[in-house]
Amino acid sequence: MYFHCTDGKVIEENVEMTWAYRKRETAQSTLKTSPTHMMWEDKKKPIPKKSVEGFYLVHESLFEKEVSQEKSK
């Protein structure tokens, strides 16, 4: 899955949801159409550096299992 990221982060402190894209090309094209501040961002600050980043999605139960195995090592 591909996401619009700000400084490499998918979810920021002031964001409750985000868009996910199946194709990098789609994510990149939609990122190009929004090069300005979001309406909740401080307009006095520079426009945040945004990029498209790819992530593998893992079901929550598998992630928890992996975390517990790492802790037991």
Confidence band (pLDDT; 50, 70, 90) for 69? Answer: confident
Q: Can you give the residue range of the structural domain that contains 27?
A: 2-71
- What is the tens place of the pLDDT at every residue in 4-54? 888 878 887 777 888 899 999 999 998 887 667 777 778 888 877 889 999
**Burial of 41 (C-beta count, 10 Å sphere; 0-12/13-18/19+):** middle
Confidence band (pLDDT; 50, 70, 90) for 65? Answer: confident
Please list, in sequence order, all residues whose beta carbon lies within 8 angstroms of the beta carbon of residue 25, skipping any fewer than 6 positions away.
Answer: none
Count up the domains in the chain and report the number: 1
The residue written with tokens 């975390």 in the block is 67
pLDDT of residue 52: 94
Q: Where are the alpha helices (DSSP H) in 1-73?
A: 24-32, 60-71
